[in-house]
Structure formats: structure tokens, C-alpha cells
Amino acid sequence: MGLFSLLAARATPTGVQVLYGLWMFLMVLFWDLLVARLMVARGRAPGLARHGPWVERAAGLLLIGLAFGVVLA
């Protein structure tokens, strides 16, 4: 909800807000489905385990950057 409130101003029409919400829902859904698919794919588990810590660090840096952006906005 926090990211949504940054994207949609008070003057944004309700229909556009609904489209924003639907778009965000679908993007998160497809991302989660992709990650789940990659985790169960044959032969991917060892590579995922090997690179997992680096992926987590990159995601952490991305979230910290997003937090700074929200605080400074």
C-alpha cells in the first residue's frame, strides 16, 4: 500500500488507481510464479543455493535504496 500511495496522487481518477493496483498485483504474482518455477526446475537447486546469498544481498540493497527514496520523498 505504501508504494501505491507514492504512485497515485489524490487527484488520480479511481479507474486509474484500479489499473495501478491491478498492474502491481499481476507483476508481483508473475514474479512469485517465476521464482517458484525456478526453484523447482531440475538442476537449478544447486545453482540457486550457491547464488542465493548474493541474490539476498542485492535484494537487500534494492530495498534499502527504496527506503531511502521513500524517506527523502
pLDDT, residue 69, reads: 87
pLDDT, residue 3, reads: 65
Q: Of the candidates 35, 2, 44, 4, which has an alpha carbon nearest to the alpha carbon of residue 22?
A: 4
Mean pLDDT, rounded, for 6-26: 83
Amino acid (one-letter) located at 48: L
Is the per-residue pLDDT at 22 higher than 60?
Answer: yes
The answer to whether the pTM exceeds 0.85 is no
Mean pLDDT, rounded, for 52-68: 91
Which DSSP helix (H) or strand (E) runs through 41?
A: none
